[in-house]
Structure 1
Amino acid sequence: MAPLHTHSNSTSSSRTNNQTPIPISITICGDGGAGKSSITLRLVRSQWTSEYDPTIEDSYSITRRIDGAIYHLSLTDTAGQEEYRGMWASSNLGADAFLLVYDITSRDSLDALQYFNELIDMEADTRLDNAARAIRAGVSPAEDTKTIPPVKIVAGNKCDLQESRQVPASQGLDWARRRGCGFMETSARLEVNIEETFALIVRRVMEARRLAEKGILNDVGGVGGEDTKRGMTKPLTPLTPGEEQSEKERGVGTRGPRIEGDRVGRGGGGFWRSLRCW
């Protein structure tokens, strides 16, 4: 059983740029064996292993430049096995964003996300209550991240294992949309949508913070006077030809895997080509 670890990895860009990195905390959760650690290690160390070592909790710290800004990402890779879920620290629920990972070859791993989603939604309700109190006190919710509901992104991992797929991409997307989550499919082994998923998380968190500064929070009741639904997301703007070429030159995986049987390929007007991601 893997012990608790803390790791740090910084890109050279943060050392050569005077900009103070913007902190964002991300908790990675999901069923045991879904690939949470594989996704994390692919991002942090650009490595992948087929060996499964159950995680209790690992922490990582990295920096990334996204849309011209430098971000300091604090990642917490949490336990997925049911017997260890009770060890979830309250600090895990204090994250700015949650990446809910399931295995596309296991329907049960998608069902297991409901447990984590309910915990996150309860945390979101608490933050909205805090925001309402702050507004009544004449304080801007943007001054305290504990008043901003967390961002939720669902990742259907192991999308390279098409012959063993049990969860169609459309089903994963529907599950995510019904719960106000963003959605991606990933492959830690082939490095598909790893950097893109975390870039999506960063953009969603910054969007939530900007809305909070305007007194708008993503909630059902309309804190700030706007009737928006918590966590509702929209498709990313398609990459420009220049951006696509830049991703290819950096060796970054494409935003959507080539999945012929589910019409999720990038070519021929497939599902993923029109969706990009949520």
Structure 2
Amino acid sequence: MQQIAQSPVPISITICGDGGCGKSSITLRLVRSQWTSEYDPTIEDSYSITRKIDGTTYHLALTDTAGQEEYRGMWASSNLGADAFLMVYDITAADSLDQLNYFNDLIDMESETRLDNASRAQRAGLATGAASGARTVPPVKIVAGNKCDLQEGRQVPAAQGLDWARKRGCGFMETSARMEVNIEETFALIVRRVAEARRLAEMGVVDSADNMGRRGMTKPLTPIGSEREEDMEKRGVGQRGPRVGGDQRLGREKFWKSWRCW
């Protein structure tokens, strides 16, 4: 008997953060495998791409939003209706991490609204999963510290970014659109967290936004490289982020050998 091919599972992702932090670079690296050093402020761009993750094909609808304050008022309600949010900051600009508080507050208000919707739906005996058509599944939040190839200009230690994310119930990655570090991995993480959130909703699990977020948090990735664990402990948690020593103009192969990733 011929098997019927399943349609890709749709997931919507809104990408937000301060202007110039690399939101568009991350998006274009994923969608077109492109990177450019030219900065062109985005008002809003939409893209779509399919990815097969854990045996399931997903259709990702990506919305690359404006970061400049003068454009933030143009945020449409459809942006807040996303299944997941990728909040991007620039590790070479400390203010860009602070700017994420604005977006995080908006997302948390949306999360509370969805949880209220889920509670009402449960009391009415209605479905609360993704198939219900209502916004009842709290969105997934992932924080990405971008430009982690620019170690000489780092202002935000990896541990600081990780701590910021954990306190707000977010997953955490450090990325580099230029060097193509953790781009596919970040979106795969988002997909898995959304799938888990939907599964819980279909099981009728209604929880606080804080607890839902904490279940979606990520632990630091296993460091890549040959450094011994006891040596890493001596360096301390705050110094376990990406490190490039000596010559900053490393070739790709040498760069990867020296990389430490959270």
**TM-score scaled by structure 1?**
0.77
Summarize deviations over 1:199-233 as a string: whole Å, max 9, x none: 0000000000011111113425xxxxxxx713112
Q: Are the structure 2 counterparts of residues 194 and 120 from structure 1 closer, same or farther at C-alpha, using a change threshold of 3 Å?
A: same
Q: Is 1:229 the counterpart of 2:211 in the alignment?
A: yes
Which amino acid counterpart does residue 198 of structure 1 have in structure 2? F
Q: What is aligned with 1:73? A: 60
1:194 aligns with 2:183: yes
Match of 1:56 in 2: 43
Question: Does structure 2 retain, via aligned residues, the 8 Å contact 1:135–1:141?
Answer: yes
One-letter amino acid of the structure 2 residue matched with residue 116 of structure 1? F
- 110, 128, 149: which one pairs with 2:138? 149
For the residue of structure 2 that corresponds to 1:175, the secondary structure is helix
In 2, Cα distance between equivalents of 1:58 and 1:84: 13
Deviating more after overlay: 132-141 vs 186-195? 132-141
- For 1:211 and 1:107, the matched residues in 2 are separated by 36
Question: 2:233 corresponds to which residue?
Answer: none
3-state SS of the aligned residue for 1:147?
coil
Q: Secondary structure at the match of 1:230?
A: helix
- The Cα offsets for residues 36-72 of structure 1, whole Å up to 9 and x where unpaired, read as 0000000000000000000000000110111111000
Residue 189 of structure 1 aligns to a residue in which SS? coil
CA RMSD of aligned residues (A): 2.4
2:203 to 200, 214, 217: 214
Q: Supply the AA of the counterpart residue of 1:183.
A: F
The answer to whether the 8 A contact 2:243-2:260 is kept is no
The answer as to whether partners of 1:258 and 1:266 remain within 8 angstroms in 2 is no
Does the 8 Å CA contact 1:30/1:102 hold for their aligned counterparts? yes
Change (3 A) 1:191 1:235: same
What letter matches 1:49 in structure 2?
T
Kindly indicate whether the alpha-carbon contact (under 8 Å) linking 2:242 and 2:260 is maintained by their aligned counterparts in 1: no
Matched with 1:20 is 7
Match of 1:29? Answer: 16
Residue ranges of structure 2 left out of the alignment (5+ in a row): 224-239, 246-254
Partner of 2:174: 185
Q: CA deviation at 1:144?
A: 3.7
Give the Cα–Cα distance (whole angstroms) in 2 for the partners of residues 160 and 216 of structure 1: 40
Task: Provide the TM-score with structure 2 as the length reference.
Answer: 0.82
Q: 1:96 aligns with which of 83, 96, 119?
A: 83
Aligned position for 1:225: none
Shift in CA distance, 218/164, structure 1 to aligned 2, threshold 3 Å: farther
Q: Is the 8 A contact 1:149 1:218 kept in 2?
A: no
Report the count of equivalent residues: 230
Distance 2:199 2:207 in 1: 11
Residue ranges of structure 1 left out of the alignment (5+ in a row): 1-16, 221-227, 240-255
2:74 match: 87
**Any idea what SS the aligned residue of 2:135 has?**
helix
Which secondary structure state, in structure 2, belongs to the residue aligned with residue 124 of structure 1? helix
Greater CA drift, 133-142 or 160-169: 133-142
Structure 1 counterpart of 2:194: 205
Partner of 1:259: 243
Whether the 8 Å CA contact 2:148–2:242 is kept in 1: the answer is no
1:116-155 matched pairs, under 5 angstroms: 116-142=103-129, 143-144=132-133, 146-155=135-144
The answer to whether the 8 A contact 1:257-1:266 is kept is no
Q: Deviations over 1:208-264 (max 9, x none)?
A: 0011111113425xxxxxxx713112438869xxxxxxxxxxxxxxxx974258xxx
Is 1:59–1:77's contact at 8 Å kept on the other side of the alignment? yes
Q: Is residue 159–residue 241 contact of structure 2 (8 Å, CA) maintained in 1?
A: no
Percent of pairs with identical residues: 73
- Deviation, 1:19, is 2.3
Give 2:146's aligned amino acid.
N
